[in-house]
Amino acid sequence: MTSPSPALVPEPGVYVPTVTFFKPSTSSSARQAPLEIATQCLHSVHLAKNGIRGLVLMGSTGEAIHLSRTERFELLSGVREGLTEAGFPDYPIIAGVLTNSVDEALEWLGDAKEAGAQWGLVLAPGYFGGVANQENLLEWYTLVADASPIPILLYDALDLVEFKALITEIRRYNYPGVTNNIMIGLETYTALAAHPNIVGCKMSHGNVSHHLQVSLDPAIDHSNFRVFSGFGQQLGPIVLFGAAGVIDGLAAIYPATVARLFELSAKRPVEPEALKEIQKLQFVVSRAEEKLGKWGIVGIKEGIYRVLNFGNMEGGRLPLKGSLPEGEWSSWNVAMDSMMEIEKTLQQ
């Protein structure tokens, strides 16, 4: 019997959880603003040209739950076509999978493969919160991975019970709500990392210890299981200790700067001059992330429009429609001006 081919593993680097662009609401009589795939492609190509290793489309930031099955497919396949036409035919695309049903998760994954995505980022099924214990999580992910037509990454969120001190700030810019505060345990990670069709994870929480323990676990084959953070604030520290990179929203606005921070942090050995630059960049990135993160999708979309002139300032689909309060963006000047100064020296 022929052994199955090894699963494709995402390369280390900075990935962007892209927003989904919509046309202005005044452009259509439809109930909701239609997709703007042309702008989606232009932004994707800009990221590809400026150091971003790959895209996460239709994740939480991409509002997948606000789109129909047809729209999700059109967006994924449209971006794949746009990247190919721009000279990036095999550019990495990870498709978000945000559903609690095993069969529906497999439906999303099948559609993602057909549309041209190489991986699926599968959110932990958190509708029933704490009822979904670690044994059930292990079985759920195993069933999905066994039948998925593409390799998958695990998508984790914050355990608010264990980290009560972080609740106020983290709830503003993280995604504990999308998994109802469920968290994949360390032993569960170790078990799932051994599955041949599970090739990594995104940890969207502030627990650096968990990032490091999974990244350094000697029981995990790290050439076949990549650990990514959802926080650019953690990029330097976690990459220096074995993580594969970040899936970071700030990089949607300032891709070259975040990519440069990764490049320096991943290089071995870390020379003294490089460490100084890492420290400088990490401070600037962390400061900007704190500002941007308070407003999540709305803040990222407005930042993309103001800095890169892609999209508009109408926010997402309901209930995420709207822009930042008057004067909010200008209050970020110290952080964002520092990012822009660096970005201009690096951008292609």
CATH code linked to domain 13-346: 3.20.20.70
Lowest mean pLDDT among 89-98, 123-132, 167-176, 274-283: 167-176
Please list the residues that pair with 315 across neighbouring strands.
321
Instruction: Encode pLDDT of 99-129 as tens digits.
Output: 999 999 999 999 999 999 999 999 999 888 7
Q: How far apart are CA 338 and CA 73, in angstroms?
A: 37
Q: Identify the bridge partners of residue 280 per DSSP, sorted by sequence position.
A: none
Is the entire prediction scored with pTM above 0.85? yes
* Three-class secondary structure of residue 152 per DSSP: strand
Measured N-to-C along each axis, helices 296-308 and 333-346 cross at an angle, to the nearest 10 degrees, of 50
**For the chain, what are the domain ranges?**
13-346
DSSP three-state, residue 309: coil
Over residues 221-271, the pLDDT tens digits come to 999 999 999 999 999 999 999 999 999 999 999 999 999 999 999 999 999
Backbone angles phi, psi at 84, to 5 degrees: -60, -45
The encoded tokens of residue 242 equal: 């074995």
**Which amino acid appears at position 45 of this protein?**
V
Contact 98/128 with Cβ under 8 angstroms? no
Cα–Cα distance list, 325 to 235, 299, 300, 322 (Å): 29, 10, 14, 9
Determine contact, residues 14/53, Cβ cutoff 8 Å.
Answer: yes
